[in-house]
Amino acid sequence: MMNSRFWGKIAVLVAVCGWTLSAQAKYDGGSGTETEPFRISAVSDWQELMTTPADWASHFVLTGDLDLDGVLLSPVGSDTNKFTGVFDGNDYVIRNADVNAPHRNYVGLFGCLGTDGQIKNLGVEDISAIGRYWVGGLVGWNYWGIVSNCYSTGTISGGENVGGLVGENWCGTIGNCYSLGRVSGDENIGGLVGYNSLASGAIINSYSTGSAAGDRYVGGLAGTNGGTLSNCYSTASVGGNYFVGGLVGWNYQGAIGNCYSSGTVGGTGASVGGLVGSKYAGTVSSSFWDVDTSGWMTSAAGTPKTTAEMMTKSTFTDASWDFVGETVNGTEDIWAICEGTNYPRFVYQIPRGDIVCPDGVNSLDFAVLARYWHEADCAALNDCNGADIDLSGGVDFGDFGALAESWLTGL
């Protein structure tokens, strides 16, 4: 009786005084919708996401870099309750994540990404992920989801389906992504993706460096490919026993187009090749490997080239690759190259302020900037041969600031 009278008086006070009683705000604000995503700004926000499966279909945005060093972590999303929301990294970085679960499946910063789920614009640096099956630096299992504009660095290890970025890409899409990690395991081990699944699994405009090591089905980019690899490359060193390739260990009914590999390839058993270790079915077109750096003159598919040929633009444009400065092969301007010094790379890799070859922002770029300093008619001079970095029409302190911001990057 006393309890009901007490709360009755509280209700009267609320009504008379105009007070508002509301639940405690979740995360750092937001409502989890597309227009008002939950904001992740602190370690406590990530812990809340990690332990609140009811929110795994919501929208999230990262509002700053996050350091998870020393935090006890478990994957966001599981095989029975996948993450089907949208996580926008907003071009920020999550660092020092340690997901140590050697006896668990679906291990990564995100365990399982489900249908309509998206992870985009996120960097994951210095992650340590250890699991059993389906282990990735970002996602353990991508099931019909989309991963775009993401990267990972660190050490990834497990049993089967282990990748630097994604353990298995099952009918999902991975675009404009890369991995610089060290990946190891037993079967289906890839520098970027362990297993790119049948038919609908697509990896586009993506690359890997670092290393991939395992027993069988080991590739610099993907251990096994049953889907599509389009405009991809790997410079990762690769080592294994059976079905080992510089780009793909085993191409199982997959389609590979406009790809290359240049990393060292080591294999002690059967089916080892410079680009592809073994090809069961599928197609491989307009794709190359470096015979000098890989150590292999043979491959189950692809075209062998010397290092000099791999650093020559016409090698690729003659095979219909879309490069900056030509329109015969398309107008998307996917690739760029500094001939004679580097292999092709993606235009999105080129740092702002990298005006001239060779790759990287250095004194050579500064010299071009100085040459056109205070030039005011850049539109008529091919943007002052690139010195008008901000495309303002002239070369001034805006361009100097852009160059300084990228100084010594991309070398």
Q: Number of H helices and number of E strands within the chain?
A: 8, 34
**Does residue 116 sit in helix, strand or coil?**
coil
Contact predicate 73/50, CB 8 Å? yes
- C-alpha 6, offset from chain centre: 57
Looking at the chain, the whole-number percentage of residues with pLDDT higher than 90 is 80
Is the bond into 358 cis (omega within 30 degrees of 0)? yes
Longest dimension (CA), the chain: 90
**Does residue 299 sit in helix, strand or coil?**
coil
> In whole angstroms, what is the distance from residue 171 CA to residue 178 CA?
19
Q: Would you state the pLDDT for residue 6?
A: 43
Rg, the chain, Cα only: 25
Query: 408, exposed or middle or buried, with CB in 10 Å at 0-12, 13-18, 19+?
Result: exposed
Contact predicate 159/185, CB 8 Å? yes
Where is pLDDT greater, at 122 or 201?
122
- Residue 369: how many CA atoms within 13 Å on its side-chain side? 22
> In whole angstroms, what is the distance from residue 16 CA to residue 8 CA?
12
Q: Would you state the pLDDT for residue 24?
A: 66
Which of 7-16, 243-252, 264-273 has the lowest average pLDDT? 7-16
Where is pLDDT greater, at 71 or 402?
71
Report whether pLDDT(3) > 60: no
Report whether pLDDT(104) > 50: yes
Contact predicate 262/343, CB 8 Å? yes
Mean pLDDT of the region 84-94: 98
> In whole angstroms, what is the distance from residue 98 CA to residue 142 CA?
20
Report whether pLDDT(1) > 70: no
- C-alpha 46, offset from chain centre: 21
**Residue found under tokens 């307009």:** 286
**Does residue 248 sit in helix, strand or coil?**
strand
**Does residue 307 sit in helix, strand or coil?**
helix
Report whether pLDDT(365) > 90: no
Task: Please give, one letter per residue, the 3-state secondary structure of 214-238.
Answer: CCEEEECCEEEECCEEEEEEECCEE
Confidence of residue 23 (pLDDT cuts 50, 70, 90): low
What are φ and ψ of residue 352, in 5° steps?
-60, 130
Residue 61: both structure tokens together: 């945005």
Contact predicate 127/159, CB 8 Å? no
Contact predicate 276/245, CB 8 Å? yes
Where is pLDDT greater, at 380 or 8?
380
One DSSP character per residue, 17-51 reads HT----PPPPTTS--SSSSSPEEE-SHHHHHHHHT
* Fold category of 350-405 in CATH: Type 1 dockerin domain (1.10.1330)
- Between the alpha carbon of residue 154 and those of residues 95, 163, 184, 211, 383, the distances in Å are 10, 11, 12, 11, 39
pTM of the predicted protein model: 0.91
* b/e code 106-120 from CB counts within 10 Å (16+ = b): bbbbbbbbbeebbbb
Report whether pLDDT(381) > 90: no
Contact predicate 151/121, CB 8 Å? no
Q: Where are the domains of the chain?
A: 38-310, 350-405
Residue 255: both structure tokens together: 């389609």
Segment 323-349, tens digit of pLDDT: 998 999 999 999 999 999 999 999 999
Q: Does domain 38-310 have CATH number 2.160.20.110?
A: yes
Which of 21-25, 52-56, 209-213 has the lowest average pLDDT? 21-25
> In whole angstroms, what is the distance from residue 317 CA to residue 328 CA?
9
Report whether pLDDT(199) > 80: no
